Amino acid sequence: MKYFNKKNCGFTLPEVLVYMAIFVSVFVLGANYIITGFKTSRFASEQETAIQYARKATEIMAKELRGANSSEQGAYPLDTTEAQNLIFFSDTDDDGETEKIRYHINGSQLFKTTTEPGPTNDYSSLPVTETIAEYVNNQAENLFTYYDSNNATSTSINSIRLIKTSIKINVTPGIAPNDYYVETSVQLRNLKDNL
């Protein structure tokens, strides 16, 4: 029969400290790994959602721009053509009346503002604004680029026949990955020269 000596039972204080240091180090490394994984997963989810909204926004914009038409008072289909701001007339809700549509960026959001013609067709009705894309990072780049019938860039409203839309999306602009672009080009059907 073997007898145990109390001096040989358990761990010494230095051994306990070493074990605790190893346990804490492994715990901290594991926690950092899990937190980084959650952050990456959340970022990927937010980025994918933002890209889906931008794709839907370009589809809506393309459909409405293709149908650009004279206003209810006979004004030219395009009203304002700037790099970050586009105002035009189009029957977006198929009610037989041409609405005034504005697309513009404010901060990191892309907005669509719709104004109904109103009873006197002067577009003095209360406009309705909605956010159609978020995390837009076009501050230094054109949201809209305008082209004439020869595919040359144009600043003259009367010569614009094609509008290129480029939405730059990035949930975290200061951190990789790089920006994601959602682009489309729209021929203005009612302004074609070759009819």
The pLDDT, as a whole number, for residue 195 is 47
8 A C-beta contact, residue 167 and residue 178: no
Lowest mean pLDDT among 13-17, 62-66, 150-154, 179-183: 13-17
Neighbour order of strands in the sheet with 128-134:
78-81, 85-90, 99-106, 109-115, 128-134
CA–CA dist 86, 26 (Å, integer): 56
* Interior angle at CA 82, CA 90 and CA 102, nearest 5: 35
pLDDT digits (tens, 9 = 90+) for 31-50: 787 777 766 666 777 788 88
Q: Phi/psi of residue 143, each to 5°?
A: -80, -40
pLDDT digits (tens, 9 = 90+) for 136-163: 888 888 999 999 988 899 888 888 999 9
Average pLDDT over residues 121-141: 89
CA–CA dist 143, 78 (Å, integer): 16
pTM for this structure? 0.75
CA–CA dist 148, 167 (Å, integer): 21
The pLDDT, as a whole number, for residue 78 is 92
C-alpha distance across the termini of the chain, in Å: 109
